[in-house]
Amino acid sequence: MTLVDLWVAVALAGAVVQAGYETLQKHLTADVDALRLSYVTSILGSLLLFPVALWVLSTQPVSVTLTVVAGTLVAGVANVLALYAFLTALTQADLSVVSPLRQSTPLLVAVLEPLVLATAFGPSVILGAFAATLGGYVILADESLSSPLARVTEPGPLLALGTAGLYAVASVAARFVVVRVPSLLFTFLLYVQMALAFGVLLRRRDGTLPTRALGQRRFLALGAMTTLRSVLIFAAFALVAAAKATVVLRVSLVLTVLAGGALFGEQGVGRRLVGAGLVMVGVWLAL
């Protein structure tokens, strides 16, 4: 298998796990808010990756520089702020408005990565990112496709776009780090950062932490899946430009559309299939 085939396989595997995680999250944790779920899965991810991180440190040379530390911190802070911005956006606008605008990440990564990391790729990658972004928008918008764009100057939609921008920053920062240190070590450090930050936010909000939830089977399953998802995503980032990887990762939206229609009888499958087709065009252009 060539390097090109390898990154595509890893990114597609990440997309499959992402789709499985989102499907399980939707139907197993309807009674759990996003901040609590993020804390629990971050703690579980840290615990699962701790022995892996020790193995990496004992078997592979790791050169930790100030720029690597800074990049890791930027990725962690951006992920935490992105979730906070998303939750705040949901208090000011409907999910059908917020989620489509949040899908702008691939396009923003394609613009940001060449500027920050001087990454070179052809115009087809930018076109692919645009198609994947448009496809994600069509999949997640309600029947009135123009509604999110018509309200883009309102606080909620602006925060949704901010969420996409923060995830783009996190993706570019992750790409910077994982070409310099093992991606498994980076993934562990990222989860530790997020667990600490989400723990502080949750403690301030609720006055306590949901430690008992760590042993529940549904959270264990979700924690394992989100950890595997992250491992695959950052492994793909180590192999190829983040702009390409983020487009291929949008295949997860296609899989959730198919699962929603086939397994759960969700409505609007026809429109979502059009969006899925646009995503696949984007993937084809990015390869």
CB 113 within 8 A of CB 249: no
Distances in Å between the Cα of 15 and the Cα atoms of 33, 175, 273 are 23, 17, 17
Residue (of 160, 169, 184) closest to 238 by Cα position: 184
Note the pTM of the prediction, 2 decimals: 0.90
Long-range contacts of 106-110 (CB under 8 A, 24+ apart): 106/132, 106/133, 106/136, 106/243, 106/246, 106/247, 106/250, 106/282, 107/132, 107/133, 108/164, 108/165, 108/168, 109/168, 109/171, 109/172, 109/242, 109/243, 109/246, 110/243, 110/247
pLDDT class of 262 with cuts at 50, 70, 90: very low
More confident position, 187 or 83: 187
Long-range contacts of 278-281 (CB under 8 A, 24+ apart): 278/131, 278/132, 278/134, 278/135, 278/138, 279/131, 279/132, 279/135, 279/136, 279/139, 279/250, 279/251, 279/253, 279/254, 280/135, 280/251, 280/254, 281/128, 281/131, 281/135
Q: How far apart are the first and last CA of the chain?
A: 15
Average pLDDT over residues 44-49: 95
Domain count of the fold of the chain: 1
CB 180 within 8 A of CB 68: yes
Q: What is the pLDDT of residues 219-233, one digit of tens each?
A: 898 899 999 999 999
Percentage above 90 pLDDT, the chain: 54
Average pLDDT over residues 251-276: 70
Q: Which backbone phi and psi does 151 adopt, to 5 degrees? A: -110, 20
Domain around 186: 3-286
pLDDT at 143: 62
pLDDT at 267: 59
